[in-house]
Homo-oligomer: A and B are copies of this chain.
Amino acid sequence: MTPSSHSVSVVAGGAGFIGATLCGRLLDEGKVVVAVDNFSRGQRDYLSGVGADERFHLVQADLAVREQTVAAFSTAARFGQVIEVWHLAANSDIPAGVADADVDLKDTFLTTVEILRAMKAHAVGVIYFASSSAIYGDLGETELHESIGPLLPISNYGAMKLASEALISAAAESHLSKACLFRFPNVVGVPATHGVILDFVNKLIASPEVLHVLGDGTQQKAYLHVSDLVSAMLAIRARDLTTKVEVVNIGPLDQGVTVKWIAEQVVARVRPGAAIQFGSGNKGWVGDVPKFNYSTAKLQSYGWQPVLGSVQAIQRAVDEVALQRQQ
């Protein structure tokens, strides 16, 4: 078997929270997997489950930098034929991106610019992109389905995800053969790098008597477990849809749970009896969207359903994150 006969999947942000899970699944499919990460948030440790596989390769590169991206793709091409790119590289700290627009500009958007440029140079035609429900902005009670507009994100994170969608869409007209824009909900599980559960667990460990919650706790969001998220993406890919640019909201079927309920779960699991103190307002931070009515009708029409709803996803993730912090 010559090297070029291998099918290579490139996973940008492959050492991150979702990337680490995805890499394992792609290896299960028999792919050669080249994970690319700059380790700003991703960690080598997260890949302990797959690192020993001889079909797995980890490349350190900052995909917002042209020369490093070109080099990373050249490295990937040495392991076989690159048939697809999974672009999960992004800033995941939304408040940091609101404070300094350069964070999302670079980590969330310029990565898209450079990945598309490298794909054109290497004639790689298929991209799967981790977009976000944040592209919809704050539309209150309006049902967020794929065919509404205008899209007015309220964080630079959401803005740069939408900008990436737009650039991928234009690239599909000129040099891509297939693009899937997966609009992620809030995703929970391990290895946790950010998010409400890790935040609460960390706070309780630092200050065991009382958990201070940003906002009044009434924010309600849908949560998907990372295992279900990756399953959904692979299921959509397997359907081999004929649309050149496929846009799909991914999420559970329910309308989610409140921050208050999540706080109670974390306290019960990590520090039973600790008090919970709420702030004011229904936004945790600038750029936070207080309530989602997130439609997954399109995803369901493809016959996919998650194993875990928001309640079960949070409960499992609280256990997993608590365990992760104890290790």
Contacts and interface: CB of A to CB of B under 8 A. Distances in A.
Interface of A: 98, 101, 105, 109, 113, 116-117, 135, 137, 146-156, 158-160, 162-163, 165-167, 169-174, 181, 245, 247, 286-287
Chain A interface, DSSP helix/strand/loop, else mixed? helix
A113 B103 CA distance: 12
Contacts of A169: 137, 151-154, 159
A75 to B, nearest CB: 23
A113 to B, nearest CB: 6
A135 B166 contact: yes
B151 A159 contact: no
B173 A167 contact: no
Contact of A159 (B154, B155, B167): B167
Given A147-B148, A150-B146, A166 B170 contact: no
A148 B101 CA distance: 27
A68 to B, nearest CB: 17
A146 B113 CA distance: 27
A166 B173 contact: no
A155 B167 contact: no
A201 B152 CA distance: 40
Nearest to A136: B149
Nearest to A105: B113
A250 B201 CA distance: 50
Given A146-B149, A149-B148, A163-B163, A155 B170 contact: yes
Contacts of A137: 169
Nearest to A138: B173
A159 B152 contact: no
B167 A156 contact: yes
B149 A170 contact: no
Contacts of A135: 166
Q: By CB atoms of chain B within 10 A, which of A101, A105, A109 has the most?
A: A101
Given A169-B159, A170-B287, A117 B146 contact: no
Nearest to A66: B102
6 contacts: A101-B116, A109-B163, A150-B181, A154-B172, A158-B170, A159-B167
Given A155-B173, A160-B167, 14 more contacts: A101-B113, A101-B170, A105-B113, A148-B148, A149-B149, A149-B150, A149-B151, A151-B169, A152-B169, A156-B167, A159-B163, A159-B167, A162-B163, A174-B287
